[in-house]
Structure formats: structure tokens, C-alpha cells
Chains A and B, each alone.
Chain A
């Protein structure tokens, strides 16, 4: 089974900061990875698919990169509405899926 890890597990940042979250796979998964944002009490929302493609309607301050085993989600200038938990999701083993454990971004 493919295992996913994320770092950091949490971070504190200020509005306007550049934030980077890393997701690592236990084996190569090509670019079969997406990033999701979840706010408390809400369903997850897809931000990025295929490692680097921006979901329609998602602000351009979000970007994704990477392939193989290491991936990053970058928020170029953190906004108040971006404080949330972020998850990566691999689908290389489709139709079996694995989420990363999540990264909580809160206000410094």
C-alpha cells in the first residue's frame, strides 16, 4: 500500500506570508496527486489536481508542484480565508486512494 506523509503537521503564519506544505509518498506516484482544503465543519474542497493543475475557481495564489515521491503546495500570499487544514490525496493506486494526514494552517 502507498503511504502518504505531510510536513509540517501544523504551522502558524501571518496574512501575507508565503506558505509551503510538503507531501511525500512511500513510492513513486508520477503526478497522481491532488490537494484539498478543509475548513471546520465543512467538506473538503479540491484546490489542485494532477500535482500542479489549478482547479477552476481557485485563486492563483495556490500552486502545486512535484512528481514521483515529493510534492509541494504553495500559498504565495496567505489570506484570512486560507486558514484551514490541507490534505494531499494520491490516486496512483486507483481506485484505491490514500490521504495524507493533513497540515493545519492557523493564525500566528
Chain B
């Protein structure tokens, strides 16, 4: 069974940093591209970042470029999102999502982890 479990969320002050993790199981993690998607409270979904299976290709949404860094460790079946320079508008539930190569869209999602940026 495919499972994605996020962790690392919490309360952080504006300008602070946080590192999110996504532990994957039930599939060959190293064969799949992965993404982070976020959802501000009461708002819609926003794609944040993409990383290819080999980490060779990485993309970011303009709203986080230069502040967030996506990475992965295929040996540990884990995906990461390093978030620096956090702002109030980064407050959201952050989901990791598997990128199904045959359909180029997200077939499995984690349950999400809440990041709150507030003083």
C-alpha cells in the first residue's frame, strides 16, 4: 500500500525556518518524481515545488522561489522541503504528492502537515 507521511510542521516566527519531511513506503520511491502542494486555511490548493526522481530537475512556484529548497534522499525513501524566510502567507497545510509518470499528475497524497507562521 502506498503511504506518504509528512512531518516537521509547527509554529514558527516570521523570518524563521522549518524543514518538512515526507516518508514514503509501499512503492519504489526512487522511480517517481515528487511534489509539494500547500493549502492555506480555508483556501484552495497551490502547487509549491517539483523534484524529479534523480533530483536532476527541480522547479518552484514563483511565490516560494529563492526561499524554499526541495530535496530527496532515495536511500531513505524521503522527500524534504527546507523553508527559509517564512512569511505569514506561507501558513498552510503542506502535502507531499506522488507524480505518476504515466499520467503526469498526482495520484497519491500524504495527510499533510500544518505550518503556522506567526509572532
Contact = CB atoms under 8 A, between A and B. Distances in A.
Interface of A: 32, 34, 36, 38, 42-46, 49-50, 53, 55, 87, 89, 91, 94-102
Nearest to A85: B44
B105 A49 contact: yes
A87 B44 contact: yes
Interface residues of B, number: 23
A96 B44 contact: no
Contact of B35 (A46, A97, A98, A100): A97
A44 B105 contact: no
13 contacts: A32-B104, A34-B106, A36-B45, A42-B111, A44-B45, A45-B109, A91-B104, A95-B52, A96-B47, A96-B59, A99-B44, A100-B44, A101-B44
A102 B100 CA distance: 22
Given A95-B59, A96-B50, A46 B106 contact: yes
